[in-house]
Amino acid sequence: MAEDQQELAWMDSLGEQQQDVVENPREQTAQTATVEDLREQIIQAEEEPGVEEEGALARLFLNMKPWQRLVLAVLLFLNVALCGCMALVMAGRVALPF
């Protein structure tokens, strides 16, 4: 029963707040403008670091010479191949000849 009374009081307070918003359109406009300004600031703040972080990684690989990129690609291939072979041996799918 106490919970029902709390819910009713809460619903009444919501009704009062809605009446205040309707009665004061100037305050609502000011609040809306403030919220919109905050949204724009958040969007601008999110856009700036993301572009710089993505660009830094891309610049790292784009600034390499072609032979350096080839060496990295070959090393990556060998690493994946070795890990795959080790996994097959550990799983017992391939037996070592010795």
- pTM strictly above 0.85: no
- pLDDT one-digit tens code per residue, 5-51: 777 777 677 666 555 555 566 666 777 788 888 888 888 877 765 54
Structural domain total, the chain:
2
In a shared domain, residues 37 and 70? no
**Mean pLDDT of the 72-82 span:** 97
In a shared domain, residues 58 and 80? no
pLDDT attached to residue 53: 55
In a shared domain, residues 54 and 15? yes
In a shared domain, residues 71 and 31? no
Helices vs strands, H then E, count in the chain? 3, 0
In a shared domain, residues 10 and 43? yes
Is pLDDT larger for residue 54 or for residue 8? 8
Where in the sequence is the domain holding 90, given as residue range(s)? Answer: 64-98
Dihedral of the alpha carbons of 63, 67, 71, 73, in degrees to the nearest 10: 70
pLDDT attached to residue 57: 78
Cβ-Cβ contacts under 8 Å for 64 (sequence gap 6 or more): 72
